[in-house]
Structure 1
Amino acid sequence: MTGRLARRAAGAAGLGLLASAFIYLALAVGGLHAPYWQLWLSCTALLVLFALLGARGDPAEPLRPVSLAEPETQQRPYRQMERWEWRLATTHGDPAWYARVVHPRLVTLVGQRLWQRHGVSLSRDPARAREVLGADLADFLAAPPATATPSPAELSRLTTRIEEI
């Protein structure tokens, strides 16, 4: 225990002695009886607890705002990009994986972006969505390729188009 905490605890113990005497006398006037040592122990324990918890509230350094993000994400802000890069790299030569994992997420991403920027729903208004997206991107999103995954050049071109939306 540091000297500061010891002084707080000693002060609380002394205050506990006075508080227990006051409570003992108040009970006696009311015609009730309680053993003094129990009153002293209870008061002192509570006051020492409050003193120690109060000392804990005096931080040596200012508090930093709490973030709900993972610590690793705070240190590596582009972690999600690495995840997408990994997903796309693992799809090379595996159309089933691409169709099951990547393509639905791209459709969701484009659908959200289309709704936020243009107020057009990809599923409810496919004609208007096709007009905004362009035939190339609309065809790409309509169905995942069955036999091959898109090439990096094709994905780059489509990603650029998605960013323009």
Structure 2
Amino acid sequence: MKKSITLFFLLAIISLVSSQSSISDKQKAAIQKDTLKKGKAGIELQDNKLDSLITSLGKFKIYKKEAHASYYADKFNGRRTTSGRKFDNNKYTAAHKKLPFGTKVKVTNEKNGKSVIVEITDRGPFVKSREIDLSKRAFMDIASNKSSGGMQVTIAVLSN
């Protein structure tokens, strides 16, 4: 008797879940719009769309291999960059010694193959051995060891 009741409830739950999975496209669009407005995940979704849009509009040309990358210290958060923009450690930005401001750069971690697209908004790093300073968010997205302060990367510049 208990097995048949349990089986009945299990089948009822499965049918309920399967009926809910057939949401219309309009409902999915409404849910997605709501997510973009309210949630932090929506902001990340917009960033991913921006990255894929940039990638589809142009090609990346390798600028430098085996470059050393580090990330900004937290004390720079909120300060003005050389370009005049306010620095935010949660955005996908970077500092480079020579590349023009506004340049989109794809930075790929050579150890794990993860990459991120950042915009050059500042000058630096002011250490000879380093090529690029990433925002903390960009660095952590591609880092294999989250506690390390630097990594070997390949830098590719977006060419239209």
TM-score when normalising by structure 2: 0.26
**Larger helix share, 1 or 2:** 1
Larger radius of gyration, structure 1 or 2? 1
**Larger strand share, 1 or 2:** 2
